[in-house]
Amino acid sequence: MSGERFRDGRERIYEFADEVLVVCPGCGGCAVVSVVRRRLTCPSCGATREADGSALMYRAPVDPVFRRDVWLRADFRGHLLWAYNARHLEYLAAYVGARLRERGGDGFRPHTSMVERLPGWMNAAKNRDALVRAFARMRATLPAWASGDGVTREEG
Ligand SMILES: [Zn+2]
């Protein structure tokens, strides 16, 4: 997953959080939370949960709706490495693995992007190879149904 060049398309964290993989409250396996529908479903045990309209929480290693622990997580030298889903993981892995990082967006998206908010230890060149391996370990925990670039697509 390492490459020479990564172009920051100015994505924000919300753009990766449409469907979030979490630890299932029923079986401890991998379940998915649809943030739009505010619904948790587990393909393994059939558990479902519905949420009301409480505020969404981002930038923490939990889903924005139910605040359950995300499925994709790994310890990295005392830091927690985490991702919402396969797409978020691959984006982070591409960023971390790149030797050259460019700011994209051409001024049309002047906010601070998701990758600009990453902690310093994720930006450190000395951590690059070990981080790429940690992402590979996280990728290996994805169930087959969640390993594509989208999780199960649902109509909003
Ligand atoms: Zn389950």
Ligand 1 centroid to Cα of residue 129, in Å, is 33
pLDDT top residue among 35 and 108: 35
Q: How far is the CA of 23 from the centre of ligand 1 (A)?
A: 8
pLDDT band at 20 (very low <50, low <70, confident <90, very high): very high
Calpha distance 2→11 (Å, rounded)? 20
Separation of alpha carbons 10 and 29, rounded Å? 32
Taking a C-beta distance cutoff of 8 angstroms, is the pair 13, 114 a contact?
Answer: yes
CA 94 to ligand 1 center in whole angstroms: 30
Q: What is the pLDDT of residue 90?
A: 95
Structural domain spans, the chain: 5-146
Query: Residue 18 above 50 pLDDT?
Result: yes
State the distance from the centre of ligand 1 to the C-alpha of 77, rounded, in angstroms: 30
pLDDT in tens, 23-43: 999 999 999 999 999 999 999
Ligand 1 centroid from CA 128, angstroms = 34
Q: Is 53 or 60 the better-scoring residue by pLDDT?
A: 60
CB 59 within 8 A of CB 12: no
